[in-house]
């Protein structure tokens, strides 16, 4: 592995040498940018036992780091990928402006005990350009976020399948925050017999309930103050469902009423679906998932909750 970044941006400690970032104590993380470096890093960490993979787009927060904790608890070696995947962004979306802060991300991962970070460029990930054969997400992408983000889930599944091929992990951890994505990945791994254990970790939130997201940094102060209403509305209908309300339309009206009471919020969709088929339900049974996508100013936020 080569020297990939001078000390500069990281201060005097930790120290980056030969593709390995070391901290004050014993903790180090291998940083691989190329497929060859990844292969060599994997050879090193695989000696420890099973490998857990956490795919991310970087700009890391506690939500991502909780996935690293979950992977570390379940596998002997933890690999994290940081790759802003152009295939999953629509032409009008924020691929170019998506926040990137690699030096900070790598340092956070080192502190959190990740063993290997894979940070490929677009050219390294897709050396032959856009893949010709891609993963078709099928009908599970025709609901919730799917219709509003054409091609998004095909892009997600294709890059995750490619990462699975490159890393060959024993298990992979995804966040429940991206509920539809986690269902699709589980389904892909099952339907294509990929032989990888998929784990889903709970949503990590700010103290006021807003689900952590790399895109939260786009929010202005006023928008940030209104954004927790999404979680507030979901928490309210969770209580209503727990108290016996079974009508999806009654519950969804409450979500609309609460979110629309905030001037900067603009709902894209609200739905209550079966947790595996993602089919909308009329009568809510235990385990149904209520999901929301809404714009807060110009920022699209998603959140969901299980109705017990
Ligand atoms: P992203 O970098 O947005 O592609 O997310 C990478 C992984 O982190 C995905 O599996 C997300 O579901 C997960 N994730 C993002 N935000 C959260 C959160 N607030 N809580 C838990 N997991 C999260």
| Residue-level pLDDT at 151 | 98
Grade residue 13 by pLDDT with cuts at 50, 70 and 90. low
- Using the atom order of ligand 1, give the atom closest to the CA of residue 59: 2
What pTM was estimated for this model as a whole? 0.94
pLDDT of 57 over the 70 cut = yes
How far does Cα 57 stand from its chain's mean position? Answer: 8
Mean per-residue pLDDT for 2-8? 32
Closest Cα to atom 22, ligand 1: which residue?
Answer: 175
Residue pLDDT, tens place only, 238-261: 999 999 999 999 999 999 999 999
Q: Is 64 a catalytic residue?
A: yes
pLDDT the model gives residue 5:
39
Nearest CA to ligand 1 atom 6: 56
Quick one: tokens of 188? Answer: 């892909």
Residue 26 — pLDDT band, cuts 50, 70, 90?
low
Which of 54, 55, 56, 82 to mutate to test ligand 1, by most ligand atoms within 8 A of the CB atom?
A: 56
**Do 78 and 67 touch, CB atoms closer than 8 A?**
no
Average pLDDT, the chain: 94
CA dihedral sign, ordered 86, 92, 94, 96: positive
- Picking from 83, 76, 157, the residue whose alpha carbon sits closest to that of residue 118 is 83
**pLDDT value of position 108:** 98
Distance 24 CA to ligand 1 centre (A): 28
Whether 71 is in the pocket of ligand 1, judged by its Cβ within 6 Å, is no
* Model pLDDT for residues 73-103, shown as the tens digit of each residue: 999 999 999 999 999 999 999 999 999 999 9
Using a 6 Å cutoff on CB, does residue 155 contact ligand 1? no
Mutate to test the pocket of ligand 1, among 60, 62, 63, 217 (most ligand atoms within 8 A of CB): 63
Residue nearest to atom 11 of ligand 1 (CA): 175
DSSP E strands: which ranges in the chain? 15-17, 20-22, 28-32, 51-56, 77-82, 116-118, 171-175, 197-201, 265-273, 288-296, 299-307
Catalytic residue from among 64, 152, 231, 256: 64
Cβ proximity of 265 and 296 under 8 Å: yes
Whether residue 237 contacts residue 306, with contact meaning beta carbons closer than 8 Å, is answered with no
Each residue's pLDDT tens digit, 209-247: 999 999 999 999 999 999 999 999 999 999 999 999 999
243: which strand partners?
none
């Amino acid at each position: 592995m080569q020297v990939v970044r001078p000390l500069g941006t990281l201060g005097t400690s930790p120290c980056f040498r030969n593709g390995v970032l070391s901290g004050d104590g014993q903790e180090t993380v291998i940083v691989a940018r190329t497929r060859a470096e990844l292969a060599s890093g994997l050879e090193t960490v695989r000696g420890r036992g099973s490998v857990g993979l956490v795919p991310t787009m970087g700009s890391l927060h506690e939500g991502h780091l909780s996935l690293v904790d979950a992977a570390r608890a379940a596998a002997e070696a933890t690999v994290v990928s940081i790759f802003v995947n152009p295939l999953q962004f629509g032409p009008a979306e924020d691929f170019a402006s998506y926040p990137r802060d690699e030096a900070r991300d790598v340092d956070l991962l080192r502190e959190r005990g990740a063993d290997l970070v894979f940070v490929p460029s677009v050219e390294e990930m897709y050396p032959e350009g856009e893949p010709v054969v891609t993963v078709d997400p099928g009908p599970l992408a025709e609901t919730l976020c799917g219709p509003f983000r054409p091609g998004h889930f095909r892009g997600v599944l294709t890059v995750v399948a490619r990462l699975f091929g490159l890393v060959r992990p024993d298990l992979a951890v995804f966040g429940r925050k991206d509920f539809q994505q986690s269902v699709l990945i589980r389904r892909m791994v099952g339907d294509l017999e990929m032989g990888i254990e998929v784990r889903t970790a709970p949503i990590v939130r700010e103290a006021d309930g807003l689900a952590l997201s790399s895109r939260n940094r786009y929010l202005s102060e006023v928008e940030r103050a209104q954004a927790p209403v999404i979680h507030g509305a979901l928490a309210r209908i969770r209580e209503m469902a727990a108290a016996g309300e079974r009508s999806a339309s009654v519950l969804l009206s409450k979500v609309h009423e609460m979110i629309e009471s905030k001037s900067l919020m603009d709902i894209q969709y609200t739905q209550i679906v079966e947790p595996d088929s993602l089919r909308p339900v009329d009568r809510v049974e235990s385990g149904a998932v209520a999901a929301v996508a809404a714009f807060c100013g110009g920022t699209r936020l998603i959140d969901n909750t299980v109705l017990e």
